[in-house]
Amino acid sequence: MWVQVPPPAPQFSQHMTSQFNLRPLATSDADWIFEACQDQEILKWTQIPRPYTHHHALEFATTMSGDVEVWVVESDRPVAVIGVHSINPATRIADIGYWCAPWGRRQGAMKSGLTQFLSKTEKNPDVAIVQATIAESNLASRKTAEAVGFTLVGAADRSCHCGGEEVSAVNYEYAFTSAGFSTLPL
């Protein structure tokens, strides 16, 4: 069976203007997550409840809403989230998602956070591949994945539920090498 693979996302320039750190999600993150999740871009590309209330943010910050791990990217304030939705023990594939608050965009925050996340995850013996299923039309998230070394592997076998609609999606993968060295960009 032949499957048409969508083209890679177009190129955008991106500059890091400050240093970003990665840390685990904390209950104290609820306020900024609530504020960020009022953004139309986050509402458009994610599956968060609509309307997104402070109660939703507190529940997410407290329980991770079913995710295996949740990480916060921050500089002088938190700007982004990376969530590990699941890790398949048979395939060793970690399924992730990520979003960035409006005040953290176009500063290299998501690129820095994903690079740190991949470096940390490389040490996890339960993960050989990190996979992101991204809406085909979400060019910013696709470009970010490509910038840190994810490879477009083709059309996803599932759609993305974005902004209340089902949209076509593509899969990106980042595979760690068997020798213990990654292909992380320097």
Q: Is residue 5 part of a domain?
A: no
Which of 22-26, 34-38, 54-58, 156-160 shows the lowest mean pLDDT across its residues?
Answer: 156-160
Half-sphere exposure of 179 (CA within 13 A, CB side): 3
The pLDDT value given to residue 30: 98
DSSP, res 54: H
Structural domain that includes position 170: 21-175
Residue 181 lies in a domain: no
Residue 66, domain member (yes or no): yes
Is residue 184 included in any domain, yes or no?
A: no
Residue 122 falls inside a structural domain = yes
Contacts of 1 (CB under 8 A, 6+ apart): none
Domain total in the chain: 1
CATH number at residue 70: 3.40.630.30
Question: Quick check: is 29 in a domain?
Answer: yes
Residue from 29, 88, 21, 96 nearest 56 by CA: 29
* Mean pLDDT, residues 43-55: 93
- Tell me whether residue 13 is in a domain: no
pLDDT at 161: 81
User: Tokens 């069976």 map to which residue?
Assistant: 1
Q: What's the pTM?
A: 0.84
Is the model more confident about 184 or about 86?
86
> How much is the pLDDT for 177?
81
Q: What is the pLDDT of residues 111-144, one digit of tens each?
A: 999 999 999 999 999 999 999 999 999 999 999 9
Inside any domain, residue 1: no
Mean pLDDT of the chain: 88
The answer to whether residue 38 scores a pLDDT higher than 90 is yes
Task: Say what angle helices 109-121 and 139-147 make with each other, to 10 degrees.
Answer: 50
pLDDT, greater one: 66 or 71: 71
Question: Which is more confident, 27 or 179?
Answer: 27
pLDDT greater than 50 at residue 186: no
